[in-house]
Amino acid sequence: MQRVLLYCRHTIGIGHLVRSLSIAEALAQRFDVLMALGGERVEGLTLPAGIRYFELPAAAGVSERLALGEELGEPLLAAAKMWRPDVILTELYPFGRKSFDAELLPMLRWAKAQPDKPLVVSSVRDILVHRANAESFEQRVVGIIGSYFDLVLVHGDERFVPLDVTFSRVRDLACPVRYTGYVTRAKNYAAPAAAEPRVVVSNGGGRCVPGQKLLRASVAAALQFPDRLPYTFEVYTGPLAPDAVYEDLCALAAGAANIRVARFTPDLGARLRGATLAIGMGGYNTVLDLLGAKIPALIYPEYGNGDTEQEVRAERLEKLGAASVLSGEDLQPERMTQAIESVLRRKPAAIEIDLDGAGNTMRILHEMQARRSDLASAAAGCPQ
């Protein structure tokens, strides 16, 4: 069985990690998979079985370690030499993770120099982070892709958001670009459970400050207008939310029979199926969960760091009638209540997008490797 090395570092939230774990689980059907993982451990998140894991050094203090002359790439390079992968999959890089050049480039140079060079693939989501220095950023990406990569896999659907919406030089990339569809867990798209008067409110990993405000606004509306909002509110702060945020929400909801506050659910999609309404941010995984549940949704895409990723995704959903977008002014209890009442009067539109991104990723890589093997066998059998 051929081998895959999948590199993933999550530095702020857990969206990249969740997506990469789903891809690794699908790849394990046809490949032996080693995941090189870096980032804060997420309590309650179960790593898929049947996959080997390698823990990367902590990201903290990268600049200091470089100043001391430390070779950041050594652990990853050593893992690659040990594993001898047939495929290397780098999550987000080089479309992000520039600060980890020193970790990744030694491995990519090693891979390029091998007689039986592995297939090197960039694994990237549908919408990239907005950058003020877009021209130089895109030039850098084009250069690295041209030097080391054989394929770019975009985990999205070109009919919904093509990559060139946030990366203008797609046509300059010196390798094929293929869309896999959106990566999610198939069980999230099972038949919905029986409907319950339940509102599910979430904030992804939990570090997003605007998302924390959204949780508080939802709880405040549930407390002030229980007659107008006769639902149980399930509020998930996210596993990386500060203790103070979790404790504040628990104190706010104390004694309220219609509000439950928890840090994390490992299967948000399952909690959404059969619920009345979803309220959350516009992150990749949250949006896929609510699309799978096929219930009304309110999205607050104000990430607060100048990034427009969530805005682009939320605006597309609203334009297609699949969700409604909240503004900062909507976080007042009366406005929040009105928004909930309004969205519940409308049935969300169904969107035709490919949701088998993990399975398609596995099939694309398996087919490419099969072709490469056939060509190598044919070349070996040719007379000199």
pLDDT per residue of the chain (384 residues) written in tens, 0 to 9: 999 999 999 877 788 898 999 999 999 999 999 999 988 777 778 889 999 999 998 766 555 555 545 666 789 999 999 999 999 999 999 999 898 999 999 999 999 999 999 999 999 999 998 888 999 999 999 999 999 999 999 999 999 999 999 999 999 999 999 999 999 865 555 555 556 799 999 998 898 899 999 999 999 999 999 999 999 999 999 998 999 999 999 999 998 999 999 998 888 888 898 899 999 999 898 888 888 888 999 999 976 666 788 999 999 999 999 999 999 999 999 999 999 999 999 999 988 889 899 999 999 999 999 998 887 777 776 554
| Alpha-carbon span 352 to 384, nearest angstrom | 52
- What is the model's pTM? 0.88
C-alpha separations of 267 from 35, 80, 115, 188 in Å: 21, 32, 43, 8
The tokens describing 96, both together, are 């992000």
Q: Which long-range contacts (CB under 8 A, 24 or more apart) does 336-345 make?
A: 336/217, 336/218, 336/220, 336/221, 337/221, 337/224, 337/225, 337/228, 337/229, 339/298, 340/199, 340/221, 340/229, 340/277, 340/279, 340/298, 341/228, 343/277, 343/296, 343/297, 343/298, 344/276, 344/277, 344/296
Q: What CATH number has the domain spanning 188-344? A: 3.40.50.2000
| Alpha-carbon span 44 to 24, nearest angstrom | 18
Nearest by Cα to 23 from 154, 150, 157, 202: 154
Chain region(s) in the chain for CATH 3.40.50.11930: 3-182+355-381
Residues present in the chain in total: 384
Q: What CATH number has the domain spanning 3-182+355-381? A: 3.40.50.11930
Q: Are 181 and 354 in contact (CB under 8 A)?
A: yes
Chain region(s) in the chain for CATH 3.40.50.2000: 188-344
